Amino acid sequence: MSETNWAGNQTFSAERVVRPQTVGEIQEAVVAAPAVKALGSRHCFNDIADCPGGVLLDPSALDTAAELDAEASTITVPAAARYGDIAEQVHAAGFALANLASLPHCTVAGTVATATHGSGRRNQSLASAVSAVELVTADGELRTYSRGDDVFPGIVVGLGALGVVTRLTLDLVPSFDIRQDVFDGLPWESAYAHFEEIHDAGYSVSMFTNWARDEIDQVWVKSVAGQPGPDFYGAKAADGPRHPAHAAGIPADNTTRQLGVPGPWHERIPHFRLDFTPSVGNELQTEYFVPVRHAAAAMEALRGLGHRLAPVLLTSEIRTVAADELWLSPFQGGDRVALHFTWQPEQDTVRALLPAVEERLAPYGVRPHWGKLFHQAADYPRLADFRALATELDPDGKFRSPFVRRHVFGER
Ligand SMILES: Cc1cc2nc3c(=O)[nH]c(=O)nc-3n(C[C@H](O)[C@H](O)[C@H](O)COP(=O)(O)OP(=O)(O)OC[C@H]3O[C@@H](n4cnc5c(N)ncnc54)[C@H](O)[C@@H]3O)c2cc1C
């Protein structure tokens, strides 16, 4: 099969992709296939969405529509809905999603399955907004799990290993406006000394660096209330729009509006606009999470590798994510700082570097992003419970792809 992921670094080795139009067709396809996996918008950078020799189920043609319940402040969406698509409907009804990732192009199911996140000291991952999941399991049954069910925290970040999600219900909050201001040149000393203050200074804050320059290139501050002054912890207000990889010469054409112009949540929280290719396009990504209390030490450790990282980097982003209790969420058990790398598309060089990066971050209890390139998965306190859940729902292992076998079941 010649189909690839978004980045083009992963050619799927499944036998075929099928696009069911009804939940019944999903149920039939799951029962019939010995190996099967659901596919989202393919924005992951590793083989998490692959299913060698089996069937990839793409639910984007499903005949279900999003249903907003204003009284309950929720929206129930089809698995393959993209955040950018549902945002307009949510906003028009006077609501918002509490947070979004840097791009609005990913499906809700794929985003949630991998614990995708945005930024903000008080903002949890996007998976934390899920209050119910409808899932076709290996026996073809359609099951619904809701917040409060014992296994619900295991179901949500499911890595595609538990079944095919058909619908999800998401919590909504009242709609809000937000502005984004970009600052150039934050001294490292400020970042070390005031890390939590800086990340508390906005609803969502991101820093961008290549780890080798003697200051942090940019800080993006997205504010709901108030506005940052022209001097932000020693960084200066940018004189024009910036791309996160501005220092690598990338123009800001695909970014959401900056320069402090207020706008609706869904047009400011993502860095990139829905109608453009997000980020740089020709790239790879990696991301690691360590507890926020280790932010300064982890940044210092990465600066020590700056001479090896910078030649392969387009940019690197530093964010924060609030704690949750989802079993396989990297944010399970405590607030984390997210250390993201947007790499040049040089997979061999990147893969060769990752063990060194992970070794530097190992003292801080590092966990990698499930959907990006990494070398070694983390241990999780509830990993054994997740394995038991996956085995109960899928005793013959039809959803147990090589990625799941390696990183969840510890097989070689
Ligand atoms: C340009 C760019 C920017 C990004 N920015 C961010 C960011 O800001 N924050 C962040 O955390 N991540 C970010 N990512 C990573 C991205 O959000 C995740 O990789 C996300 O999982 C992609 O969702 P997807 O729909 O493409 O899923 P896919 O890559 O298609 O699949 C991911 C996993 O979800 C499972 N899955 C998908 N649909 C279903 C379903 N219906 N039922 C069961 N399982 C399913 C798949 O089996 C697979 O295991 C970025 C990626 C790119 C390319």
| Ligand 1 touching residue 110 (CB < 6 A) | yes
Q: Where are the beta strands (DSSP E) in 156-214?
A: 164-171, 173-174, 177-187, 204-209
Task: Supply the pLDDT for residue 306.
Answer: 97
What HEC string does 271-324 produce?
CECCCCCCCCCCCEEEEEEEEHHHHHHHHHHHHCCHHHHHHHEEEEEEEEECCE
Find the 381 Cα to ligand 1 centroid distance in Å. 23
CA–CA separation, 67 vs 11, rounded Å? 35
Helix (H, G, I), strand (E, B) or coil at 160: coil
**In this structure, which residue's CA is closest to atom 41 in ligand 1?**
165
CB distance 272 to 102 below 8 Å: yes
| Ligand 1 touching residue 57 (CB < 6 A) | no
Which long-range contacts does 6-11 make (Cβ < 8 Å, 24+ apart)? Answer: 6/41, 6/42, 6/43, 7/43, 7/45, 7/283, 7/284, 7/285, 7/345, 8/345, 9/45, 9/284, 9/345, 9/347, 10/44, 10/45, 10/46, 10/47, 10/50
Burial 212-225 (b: 16+ CB within 10 A, else e): eeebbbbbbbbbee
| Ligand 1 touching residue 83 (CB < 6 A) | no
Find the 371 Cα to ligand 1 centroid distance in Å. 6
Helix (H, G, I), strand (E, B) or coil at 31: helix
Per-block average pLDDT, block size 10, for the chain (412 residues)?
A: 92 96 97 97 97 96 93 98 96 98 95 98 98 98 98 98 98 97 97 97 97 97 89 95 90 92 96 85 95 98 97 97 98 98 97 98 98 96 98 97 96 87
| Ligand 1 touching residue 270 (CB < 6 A) | no
Q: Where are the domains of the chain?
A: 177-368
Both tokens of residue 155?
A: 């179901």
Which of 4, 43, 165, 316 has the most ligand 1 atoms within 8 A of CB, as the residue to mutate? 43
CA–CA separation, 194 vs 335, rounded Å? 16
Which backbone phi and psi does 132 adopt, to 5 degrees? -155, 145
Segment holding 403, helix H or strand E: helix 402-407
DSSP 8-state assignment for residue 363: G
Helix (H, G, I), strand (E, B) or coil at 348: helix
Closest C-alpha to 358, from 344, 347, 373:
373
Task: Supply the pLDDT for residue 52.
Answer: 95
| Ligand 1 touching residue 269 (CB < 6 A) | no
Could you tell me which CATH class the domain 177-368 is placed in?
alpha beta
**In this structure, which residue's CA is closest to atom 11 in ligand 1?**
116
340 sits in the region (left: phi over 0; alpha: psi -120 to 50; else beta) called beta
**In this structure, which residue's CA is closest to atom 47 in ligand 1?**
160
Task: Supply the pLDDT for residue 165.
Answer: 98
Find the 116 Cα to ligand 1 centroid distance in Å. 7
Both tokens of residue 82?
A: 């993209």
Closest C-alpha to 221, from 126, 120, 138, 95:
120
Task: Supply the pLDDT for residue 281.
Answer: 84
Task: Supply the pLDDT for residue 228.
Answer: 85
pTM above threshold 0.95: yes
Task: Supply the pLDDT for residue 226.
Answer: 81
Q: Which residues contact 60 (CB under 8 A, 6 or more apart)?
A: 19, 80, 107
Find the 44 Cα to ligand 1 centroid distance in Å. 5
